[in-house]
Structures are given as structure tokens and as C-alpha cells.
Structure 1
Amino acid sequence: MTTTTPQPTPAAPSRSGVHRVALVRPPVARLAEGELTHLERVPVDVDLALTQWRGYVAALGREGFTTIEVQRADDHPDSVFIEDTVVVLGQTAVVASPGAESRRGEPLEVESVLTQLGLDIRPIELPGTLDGGDVLKIGTTVYIGRGGRTNAEGIRQFRVIASGLGYSVVTVPISKVLHLKSAVTALPDGTVIGFDGTVEHRELFPRYLPVPEEKGVAVVVLAPDAVLMSSDAPQTAALIEDLGYRVVTVDISEFEKLEGCVTCLSVRIR
């Protein structure tokens, strides 16, 4: 499988650091072999997935992000879900320790790019495990899903790093979804949105708004007044627009078959 998507050379960070950069990674031919936890396996159209991925990358570019394409990882079917490999806290990159053994090699190339960008690298080390999809940042509070991919030791290591950077960490037990951000994300004003059928321990979130569609729970914050979300949640998009936000939608149906969402497909450095 080939892609014509350009691969920018990471730019040297400015004095104020790296901002408005999104790391992405193209889907591989073995995409359909990706790990599944809560969904039944169904056919995945890899060619369509590549087209959708290009549309996603283009949407980020139109919104002012510089996209950097990390080298394709042909031996890792899940590698397109690059968010799971790292959590960015300001100008510090906490390199993840994937909970699925099949994904353990994914962070290597991502870490190399982040090092070139000049970010401070802090790793989570085994036996600790932590997936980036379990980490939701809202201001200086970080919520971490404790489930099948992120364990207590991974959270302990992350808390040490994050607290040293001025963040507080709240652990959220999860069992109904793969990652915390499969159940909840946050609007630019910090309001947590989720689908009631999959949200657990909503009392942990100071402001919570239920949305009408399960595929509407995931948003990528583009700007203080704009979000990116799946095109397969029109009722939720209308709700968010009614709150005064501009909504950009993208078709990611092939990735949703693999428990992916819009947050999974990039690492944003704001």
C-alpha cells in the first residue's frame, strides 16, 4: 500500500516551544488484524480506510495544524492509532507503555520524532502500562482510565511525572469501553461529553453533558470555538453546534470498526 501524503521534516522548536503540530501515522495493509476488545470483528476496507485517513489529515491541515507523518509501521496493525503511544503535557512527551503486547513496538518511531521536535521525553516503563487513549486532559487536571490497557503501576508512574509538571491526576475505573476516551472527551470549555450507556463514574467529572449517539462522544479540540468529530453522529453535531461551536466532521467508519475514533488518529501538540 502506498500513500502520496507528504512527510514534513520536523521543524526545530521555537523559543516558546512546539505548537499547533499533529503527529499522524498511515494505516497499514494489516489494519483489519487490529486488536478488538468490545466489538465483534467485521470486514474492514483498507483502501477506504486510507482515503478516510487522508481526509482526516487534510482536515487538520485546513484547521491550521502542521501535520507530521510518522514512518508507517507495517508489522503493527494498530499503529494508525498513534494517540495511544504518547501523552503530551505542554512540552513534555510521556511515552506510553502499551497495554497490548502486540503494540509494544509502536512508540519507538514516535519517540524519535518527538525528540527531533525538542520535547522533553519521559517514558512509562514496564511493568507499568498506559495507553494514550486512556488519558483525558482538561486544563491542569488529567483523567486516566483504569481498565484493560492501563494498569495501576502505569498510572503511578504517570502521576509522578504529571504532578511534577503541575497537573493533578484523577483515576476513572472503566470496564464498558476500550479506553477512557472511547466513553468521554471534553469540549473546549472543559465540559465532559459522553454517551450514558458507556459512561461510568460520571460523578468524577464536575461538568458532564450526555450526547445522543455513542459515536458522538469523541471530539478533537481544534480551537476555542471549534471541534472535529465523526460524521456518523449528526444529532450530536447539531447539539454541539447549538452550544455555539463550529463542528468539522470527517468520515472514519473503517476505524470505528476497530474501536477507533477521531482522537486516536493523531497526537496534537497545542
Structure 2
Amino acid sequence: MTRGIALVRRPGDRLADGLVTHIERSDVDVALARRQHAAYRAALADAGWQVREVDPADQCPDAVFVEDTVVVCDGLAVLSRPGAPERRPELPGAEKAVREAGLEVVRVEVPGTLDGGDVLQVGTTVYVGRGGRTDDAGVDQLRAHLASRGRTVVPVPLREVLHLKSAVTALPDGTLLALPDLFDADALGRPVRAVDEEAGCHVVPLGDDLVLLAASAPRTAALVAELGFTPVVVDISEYEKLEGCVTCLSVLIPAP
């Protein structure tokens, strides 16, 4: 029995042309990125997830960051409307994948914008980053969609950071690991545990005590272990050059 489905999308030939907003552009080794993505997929499979590939969107350099295209919550898939217009052609492949997974599908409509990377689910609370890629209309539409799942949506103002989950994510027990200077931490209404590595606030609970995080956060991996969890470490250096992190390379659909 698997934990569920993990949707991924392989990097295309134009990966190195991906958008960068808050960092300087540096050269991306696409061949290395492909090897790293293969290792990322293997880590998901080893953790018990059935890895399914979303159809390519090779005209879109950022398509590998599949998390931004859809938010999955309790059998519902909310198709996003990315804040960067050049990313919107990524949506048809994501819609096909979630429909094939048997999810109910709704969408964020004009004029709203929403990136999945701005959506952090902790229990029945859904925090949504309000910043450069997600606007108030997108937050409102997500709130309306998730009301049927009994979720409370809380907007969180962002500072100089691409997405909310670039600044804060949650361990399996709900502990929030964060770089609190990058967002309005008070808006969360709960304490955060500050980390001292940029990649340390990007974690993905994989089920049981397993926690996926990047090789660039070794001190955070040690902290995760001290807290009683098992770190699953992957090298995603080429994606970090594009403001990517372990969260945005997959969409997890837990088994019912």
C-alpha cells in the first residue's frame, strides 16, 4: 500500500531560463538538474509514494515547479492561476493529472491570481502568502473553495520572498520552521521556530516521521533529527538557483 500519489514534472530543456525575482541569476547545469530530479523522484518513491509524471510543458521553463499549479486538499484540487502570466500554459497538464487521480477539480478564475507555493496547510488552517504572485482575489477564491473542506484560510503578508513556503513550512507535528524576517509572522497566530539556513524553512512531511529537506540545510537536518523525525535529504542545488525548494517540485495527494 502506498501513501498516495506524488505528482512531479521533469525539467525541460529551457530550465535555465526560469524566472528569478529576489536573487541574482546564475548558471544552471541542466544535466545535473535532471540527475537531481531523478534522485528527488527516487526519494519520494522510497518513502512510499507512487510517483506520477505530469505531462511536459517544455515551453515553460518553470514547469518543473509543479506545486504552483494546483492546491490539493481532502480530495479537492484547486487549479491555480499563476501570478506570472508566462506560467499559465502549465495548467492543462496539471489539470489532466489531478483528474486522472480522481480528484474533484475547481479553479481560480480571473481576476484572481494564486501560486500553490503560497499555500501552507497545517491541520485545518490554510495559510496563504499575499505578495507578488498571489493577490487578494486569489485568496478569497481559495477560501470559498476550501470552505467545503472545513478549512480556515488565513492571509499572510510577504516581504522580500517569492512564496510563503519559501519562508515557512511545517513539520509533521505542526511545528513551523521559518525565516521570520521574510513575512509577517504575527499573521500566523502561532509561534514559529526560527532556523539559520535559508533552505532550512523548506520541509515536506512524507508520512510517519519522514521529513524531506535540502542538502543545503545540514544544521536544520540535524535539528529535525533532534526533534525525533527522520530527515530525507536531497540535493537540489540547481533548482535553488531558480528560487526553487523541495516543496515546489511535487504535489502530494494522500491516499484516502
TM-score norm. by structure 1 comes to: 0.91
Residue number in structure 2 paired with 1:222: 206
**Contact 1:144–1:170 (CA under 8 A) maintained in structure 2:** yes
Give the whole-Å Cα distance in 1 for the aligned partners of 2:87 and 2:237.
Answer: 22
CA RMSD of aligned residues (A): 1.4
Q: 1:206 aligns with which of 182, 190, 214?
A: 190
Which blocks of at least 5 consecutive residues in structure 1 are unaligned?
1-17
Q: 2:83 aligns with which of 90, 94, 99?
A: 99
- One-letter amino acid matched to 2:67: E
State the Cα deviation string for residues 201-236 of structure 1 (Å, max 9, x = none): 245241311112111110010113110000111111
Residue number in structure 2 paired with 1:46: 30
C-alpha displacement at 1:19, in angstroms?
A: 5.4
Q: 1:133 aligns with which of 106, 109, 117?
A: 117
Give the whole-Å Cα distance in 1 for the aligned partners of 2:81 and 2:171.
Answer: 27
**Contact 2:3–2:48 (CA under 8 A) maintained in structure 1:** no
Residue number in structure 2 paired with 1:168: 152
Helix, strand or coil at the partner of 2:247: coil
Give the whole-Å Cα distance in 2 for the aligned partners of 1:217 and 1:210.
Answer: 8
Answer 1 or 2: which has greater helix percent: 2
**Contact 1:145–1:180 (CA under 8 A) maintained in structure 2:** yes
State the Cα deviation string for residues 99-136 of structure 1 (Å, max 9, x = none): 00110111111101111221000100111000000000
Instruction: Show the 5 A alignment for 1:244-255.
Output: 244-255=228-239
* Pair 1:86-2:70 in alignment: yes
Instruction: Show the 5 A alignment for 1:1-270.
Output: 20-202=4-186, 204-270=188-254
State the Cα deviation string for residues 149-189 of structure 1 (Å, max 9, x = none): 00111111111111122000000000210000000000000
CA 1:151–1:199 in 2, change beyond 3 Å: closer, same or farther? closer
Helix, strand or coil at the partner of 1:176: coil
Give the whole-Å Cα distance in 1 for the aligned partners of 2:183 and 2:101.
Answer: 36
Count of aligned positions: 254
Helix, strand or coil at the partner of 2:222: helix
**Contact 1:87–1:95 (CA under 8 A) maintained in structure 2:** yes
- One-letter amino acid matched to 2:91: P
Identity %: 52
Give the whole-Å Cα distance in 2 for the aligned partners of 1:88 and 1:210.
Answer: 27
Helix, strand or coil at the partner of 1:121: strand
TM-score norm. by structure 2 comes to: 0.96
Give the whole-Å Cα distance in 1 for the aligned partners of 2:102 and 2:41.
Answer: 23
**Contact 1:192–1:205 (CA under 8 A) maintained in structure 2:** no
Which blocks of at least 5 consecutive residues in structure 2 are unaligned?
none
C-alpha displacement at 1:198, in angstroms?
A: 2.4
Helix, strand or coil at the partner of 1:249: strand
